[in-house]
Amino acid sequence: MKAKPLSQGPGSKRYAYRVNKEENRKELKHVRIDDSEQKIDLPRKRFYRQRAHSNPFSDHQLEYPVSPDEMDWSKLYPEFQDSETGEMKSKVTIADIGCGFGGLMVDLSPEFPDQLILGMEIRVQVTNYVEDKIIALRNNHAQQKGYQNINVLRGNAMKFLPNFFYKGQLSKMFFCFPDPHFKQRKHKARIITHTLLSEYAYVLREGGVVYTITDVKDLHDWMVKHLEEHPLFQRLSTEWESNDKCVKIMTHATEEGKKVERKNGDKFVACFERLPNPIIE
C-alpha cells in the first residue's frame, strides 16, 4: 500500500484541519443560519491543496439529478425556501462555471441579493474550500442574512448542465480564466466549443449574457471565434462592457484575476448576448 505524505497523515496539522472543517460542513452546509454569536474563521487555502486543472472527460463519480425537477435547491439556499409551502421562492439565475475559489460569487452576492447564484466546480478540495467559505460568511453575517444567495456544487458543466437547469432559466453565465488546454489535441476539452455553446444557449434565456475573461490571448481568440460563429450569440460592444457592473467585478474578483494583476498581465474580456430563437416557418 502506498503511504500517504506526512502532510496528509492522521497526525498532521492539515489532516486535523480538514477533519474539523468537514465536521462543520456536515453540520452547517444545508441548514438555515438565522443568528450566531460565535464567529467562524474563513478557510485557508494552504489546507486545500489541489491540482490546478482537472480532466473533464474523466469519471469523477459526480452526483447529479436526472432532471431539474429532481434537484432539491433548498439544501443549498435554505433561506429562500418558503417555510409554509416548502417551495423555493427563487430559482438560480446566475451561474459561475468553473468557479474556482468563489471570489466572483462572493462579490456578486450583495449586488444581486434577490437572485440565486451558483458556482460549479469539478475539483474536490476547491469545492470544499468554497463550501467552507460560504458557511463562514453566512455565519458571520447572520444578522444581515448575508451571502444566503450563493452556493457551490461539485459538478461537470460540460456533461450535466441541462440536468440542473430548465430551458431559459439562467440570465448570466460566467467563464472566468478557464483551463486554456494549450495543446491542440486538448482543445476539445476547452469549456467553449460549438457543441457546448448550444447547451449554454439552451439554459440561457433570450437576452441573457455570457461573460468570458482570460489572460491567454489564444484562448480569448478561440472563445470569441466560436461564440461569433454560433447563430444564437452576438457580441456586445466594448462600451456596453465598460458600463456593466458584472464586468468590473469579474475583472478583479477572482483569484486568477488577482494573480494576473500581481504579475501585471493582460486580461481579455468578451461578452455575448443570447439572441432569440429563429422562427421556423
Which residues are part of a known binding site?
98, 121-122, 156-157, 176, 254-256
Three-state SS string across 55-85, please?
Answer: CCCCCCCCCCCCCHHHCCHHHCCHHHECCCC
A 10 A CB-CB count for 87 gives 9
Q: Are 170 and 162 in contact (CB under 8 A)?
A: no
CA distance linking residue 128 with residue 43, whole number of Å:
10
Asked if residues 139 and 41 have their Cβ atoms less than 8 Å apart, the reply is no
| Residue with the three cell numbers 468537514 | 22
Q: Round to whole Å and give the CA distance between 12 and 150.
A: 32
Active-site hit among 179, 221, 244, 266: 179
Distance CA 32, CA 51 (A): 32
Enumerate residues 6+ apart whose C-beta is below 8 A from 253.
103, 104, 106, 107, 108
Rounded Cα distance, 211 and 273, in Å: 9
Residue 276's SS3 state is coil
Phi, psi of 74 (to 5 degrees): -65, -25
User: For residues 203 and 184, what is the distance between their CA atoms, to the nearest angstrom?
Assistant: 28
DSSP 99: -
Catalytic annotation present for 82? no
Residues at the annotated binding site for S-adenosyl-L-methionine?
98, 121-122, 156-157, 176, 254-256
User: Which residues are known to be catalytic?
Assistant: 179
